[in-house]
Structure formats: C-alpha cells, structure tokens
Amino acid sequence: MSEVMHHTLYDGRRIAFRYTHGTGPPLVFLPGYMSDMDGSKATALFAEAQAKGRACLLMDYSGCGQSAGDFADGTLSRWRDEVLALIESYAFGPVLLVGSSMGGWLMLLVAERMGGRLAGMIGIAPAPDFTRWGYTEAQRAQLAAGETVFEPNPYGPEPTPTYAKFFADAECHVRLEGEIDLACPVHLLHGKCDDDVPWEVSLRLKQALRSDDVQVSLIEDGDHRLSRPADIELLKAVVAGFYG
C-alpha cells in the first residue's frame, strides 16, 4: 500500500486518499456507508492495481476513516463533490468507478457529472435509493421530522446512525424511479444471501440504466460484504475484464 496523503478542498476539508500511478483508466473505489479505504475490497483492488501497473485511487469521505470532519455532516451531495474533486486532481482520462453498497449509489451521482470520462462502472451490492426501500415508514417519518434513526450494526458494537441531514439530501438523489442516463459498460455483483441490500435492487438498477451493456452476476451464497477470498477473486476478474 502507498502512504496516505491528504487533499484540501476549497473550504478547508482535508480528504485522506491513496493513489498509485499506472496505465489504463484509473480505478476509483467508493466505499459504503460508514466504511473507508482500509476495507478488504478496497485494499485488494489497490494491491492488484499496483501489481498490474494500473492507476488506482482510494479515498475516505469526510467524517470517515482518516479524513477530517464529522460523520453527522455527511451527505451524498457532499461526498459526491469530494470524489469529483479528487478525480479532477489525480485521476486523469477515462475512469473506472467501483462502488460498494452506498458507494454504488454515489457512483451513479459521480458518473452523471463525468460526461465522456467514464470507462465503466462496477457495483458491489449497489444500494441506490436505500432511503426509500431500506427503512420502515415510521423510520422515514422520524427522519423527515429531523430525528436521527439508530439501527443495530452487524459489523461493530455501536449502532448505525442515519441523520436527518443525510436523509433529506438523499431524497433529492433518488434514481431508480426513472431512466438513469448513463450508457457506459456496467457490471453489478450481488450476493443472493445479502441481508442488507436485496439482490433485486441490482436487477432494478440494470433496468433503469440506459446502457445496453449491463451485466449482473448473482452469487448464490454471497452475503452483503462479498469479501470472502472467492468473492475478492471474482471482483478482480471483473475489474480485469475492463482492461482487456
């Protein structure tokens, strides 16, 4: 792994990132909700890029990992703009976006701003519109009223918070209810034993995308994280397919 660097935005936000130079479209990995660039999928793809001589960019959203800020201030719009700022500064030419879980939603918002600079997209259990299908009506009412919703966290001891600020912003970025005007090649990976994001969401995303080159790979015994050695090898193979 390369050393962690920091990029300072116009308002003073310091965003932690790793970058390795190489050939071909830079791979940009977008972590999930409350995740960071030290996750197993991100680090595996970074190591693979270094071994193959490909460019790769990892980052922590503000309030996450080694980036400065308060997680409670995080929104899709805020994190999208951070991703775009780092791409503009470090990842030149066409870019391959890889989004995990919430990062799969963010991937769409970033892609919409990139125009012809998209080499492709890879979604790992992508979760677009999760504020619509991932909460009960009672929880949505709480969030709409400005309250914070806490849910059990299967990956750690502290409950997972969803803040009203995040919810309000996310409601402006719903994408599955109409056509998504993206035409690049796309490959979606989803476990059929995913308890967090129903695998049918990937099928809905395939239908919504304008692209006529969308593949969906369903892993029969795969969970949400898709971080077992076999899952990582499949992900690496899918990435390799975008490099010919």
**Averages of pLDDT over each 10 residues, the chain, 244 residues:** 92 97 97 97 98 98 97 98 98 97 98 95 98 97 98 87 98 98 98 98 98 98 98 98 93
60 as an active site residue: the answer is no
Q: Using the Cα atoms of residue 121, residue 60, residue 151 and residue 191 in order, give the sign of their dihedral.
A: positive
In the numeric block, which tokens belong to residue 46? 């970074």
Neighbours of 212 (CB within 10 A): 7
> C-alpha 222: how far from its chain's center?
18
Catalytic residue among 62, 194, 202, 231: 194
Q: What is the pLDDT of residue 215?
A: 98
Q: What is the pLDDT of residue 153?
A: 86
Residue ranges and CATH numbers for the domains of the chain are 5-241 (3.40.50.1820)
Catalytic residue among 173, 187, 190, 224: 224
Q: Distance (Å, rounded) from C-alpha 56 to C-alpha 39?
A: 15
Q: What is the pLDDT of residue 244?
A: 83
The DSSP secondary-structure symbol of 234 reads H
Using DSSP, state whether 48 is helix, strand or coil: helix
101 as an active site residue: the answer is yes
- Do 66 and 39 form a contact (C-beta atoms < 8 A)? no
Catalytic residue among 101, 129, 187, 202: 101
- Do 131 and 163 form a contact (C-beta atoms < 8 A)? no
194 as an active site residue: the answer is yes
Q: What contacts 201, CB < 8 A, 6 or more positions away?
A: 126, 127, 128, 129, 133, 176, 190
